Amino acid sequence: MTPPDDTGSGGRPARTPGVRRLAEHRLFWPAAVLAALLLGNVALTHDFFAVRVQNGHLYGSLIDILQFGAPLVLVSLGMTLVIATRGIDLSVGSTVAIAGALACEHIATAKDPGSPPTVLSAVVVAVGVAAAIGLLNGFLVARLGVQPIVATLVLMVAGRGVAQLITDGQIISVSSGAYKMIGGGYWLTLPFAVLLAAALVAVTSLVTRRTALGMLIESVGGNPVASRLVGIRAAGLLVTVYVVSAVCAAVAGLMISSNVSSADGNNAGLWIELDAILAVVIGGTALTGGRFSLGGTVLGALVIQTLSTTIYTLGVPPETTLVFKALVVIVVCLVQSPAFRARLSRRRRPAAPGPAPATGDVAARRQEVHP
């Protein structure tokens, strides 16, 4: 058949305003929460938004949030892809610890800890081992059909032991200028960690959205049966996302250990898997898989980091952040739960169908990466 070739002169058809509005809606809630948190901080400390230049570096609360939030952004990034396939990766916290331990061990035992080749090989070792971890997780999930939560539990348990094995139970301190750069350095006035995280987010967005990876991942997560019948090789995709998740966690681990110039197998990346899951959920990617939003995840991670910062500013013991996180989890999950929404609408029956909450309409969730 010979279909007409008259898609118009502009190439891409213009999207309707309705779709556009929904697209904005998709990120509206995480963005609104973040904005509210930031504004709340301004009320507490008036110079919250102030950014100073000192020694050619930018300083300020906002910069701090970005810098300290960078590892979480990375871990959440990988977690987003895993969750989009209906999976979960509990082993990222352990991977963070292992990567930091490997790198620090490598640098500490090297002849020339400060030299870039040493640091580079340390990074390669850490990322390589992380990729192997991801392969193992992916193999269990994709090939053996083990539930993701169970498959990744193995390394969640064993991983910290492995990290301590590498560091011999010590906290390994390193003094390497080049290594310090990853998590604590500055480049072009900005913290290097922020730039690194931004670059990885950009690369991931590009790779998932400019190739077909993102669409195929969403397809496998959205309807595994249909995906098989349409000829998608799900196994390869699943392995890929677990490897990406582990590699992201490894880079986050390098950042964390670099920032404090030491590796702590016990505490590095503790709870970060839970924060990452939380960030993904706040960002609007449903735990049931399918459509994912990297932009939403970044916002979600920043929300969590800002929350931590706010707690500090309030002078409340920082550990109580957990209570707030718990409340956020509960609220977000309730809002996402169809059963809860059904109950709510039943209670106020005459009311018109309410405005879609954070997960309401998935219509154009991916628009934000396609400006």
Partner 1 sequence: MAAPPTPRTPTRTGRPVLEAHGIRKAFPGVLALDGVDLRLFPGEVHALMGENGAGKSTLIKVLTGVHPPDAGTVSVDGAPQRFAEPLEAQHAGISTVYQEVNLCPNLSVAENILIGREPRRLGLVHWSALHRRAARLITELELDLDVRLPLSAHSLAVQQLVAIVRAVDVRAKVLVLDEPTSSLDRDEVAQLFALVRRLRDRGVAILFVTHFLDQVFDLCDRVTVLRNGRLEGEHRIDELTPVTLVHRMVGGELRTLDELAETSHTGTAAPVPADTPFLSARGLARAGAVQPYDLDIHRGEVIGLAGLLGSGRTEAARLLFGADHADGGELRIDGERAVLRSPRAAIARKIAFCSENRKAEGLIGELTVRENIVMALQAARGWTKPLSRTRQDEIAARWTEVLDIRPADPEAQVRNLSGGNQQKVLLARWLLTDPRLLILDEPTRGIDIGAKTEIQKLVTRLAAEGTAVLFISAELEEVLRLSHRVGVLRDHRLVATLPNDTSLTPDRILGAIATGATS
Partner 2 sequence: MSTALSSLTGPLQRFSARHATRLPLVVTATLLVAMFSIGSLRYEGFFSAQVLLNVLIDNGFLLVVAIGMTFVVLAGGIDLSVGSMVALSTMLTAWLVERNGVPLALAVPLVLLVGAGGGALMGWVIHAFEIQPFIVTLAGMFLARGLCYTISTESIPLTDPTATRIAQTRVLLPGGLFVSPAVVIALTVLALAFVVLHHTRFGRTVYALGGNESSARLMGLPVGRTKIAVYAVSGLCSALGGLLMTFYMLSGYALHAVGMELDAIAAAVIGGTLLTGGSGFVLGTALGVTVLGLIQTVVSFQGTLSSWWTRIVIGGLLFVFILLQRLFGGSRPAE
Binding site for partner 2 (CB under 8 A): 88, 140, 143-151, 153-165, 168-169, 265, 274, 277, 281, 287, 317, 319-327, 329-330, 333-334, 336-340, 343
Phi, psi for residue 90 in degrees, rounded to 5: -85, -10
- Least distance from C-beta 237 to partner 1, angstroms? 8
Q: How far is CA 134 from the centre of its chain?
A: 16
In 3D space, the residue among 348, 126, 346, 148 whose CA is nearest the CA of residue 249 turns out to be 126
Does residue 16 touch partner 1 according to CB under 8 A? Answer: yes
> Rule CB under 8 A: which of 207-226 touch partner 1?
210-213, 215-216, 218-219, 222-223, 225-226
Nearest to partner 2 of 66, 133 (CB atom): 133
Tell the smallest beta-carbon distance from residue 303 to partner 2 (Å): 15
Question: Which x/- pattern over 271-290 shows residues binding partner 1 (rule: CB under 8 A)?
Answer: -------------------x
Choosing among partner 1, partner 2, none, which partner's interface includes residue 272 (Cβ < 5 to 8 Å by kind)?
A: none
CB of 293: closest distance to partner 2 in angstroms?
Answer: 18
Closest distance to partner 1 from the beta carbon of 9 (Å): 13
Least separation, in Å, of the C-beta of 230 and partner 1?
A: 5
Tokens of 102: 């490997």
Task: Report what 106 binds from partner 2, partner 1, none; CB cut-off 5-8 Å by kind.
Answer: none
Please report, for residues 38, 40, 227, 279, 307, the alpha-carbon distance to residue 34 in angstroms, rounded to integers and kept in the order given: 6, 10, 35, 12, 9
84 close to 289: Cβ distance less than 8 angstroms: yes
229-248 positions binding partner 1, by CB under 8 A: 229-233, 237
Which of the choices partner 2, partner 1, none does residue 223 contact, using the CB cut-off of 5 to 8 A by kind? partner 1
Nearer to partner 2, 106 or 160 (CB): 160
Q: Contacting partner 1 (CB under 8 A), which of 137, 176, 205, 227? A: 227
17, interface contact from partner 1, partner 2, none, CB < 5-8 Å by kind: none
Residue 204 CB, nearest approach to partner 1 (Å):
14
User: Considering only residues 19-38, where is the footprint of partner 1 by CB under 8 A?
Assistant: 19
Contacts of 324 (CB under 8 A, 6+ apart): 307, 311
Question: Around 321, how many Cα atoms within 13 Å sit in the side-chain half-sphere?
Answer: 18
Name the minimum Å distance from CB 19 to partner 1.
Answer: 5
Q: Applying CB under 8 A, what is the total number of residues that bind partner 1?
A: 37
Work out how close the CB of 50 gets to partner 2 at its nearest, in angstroms, rounded to a whole number: 30
Choices 13-21, 70-78, 299-307, 340-348 (CB under 8 A): range interacting with partner 1: 13-21
- The residue (of 3 and 355) whose beta carbon lies closer to partner 1 is 3
Q: How far is the CB of 73 from partner 2 (least distance, A)?
A: 20
Residues that bind partner 1 (CB under 8 A): 1, 3-5, 7, 11-13, 15-16, 19, 210-213, 215-216, 218-219, 222-223, 225-233, 237, 290-291, 362-364, 370
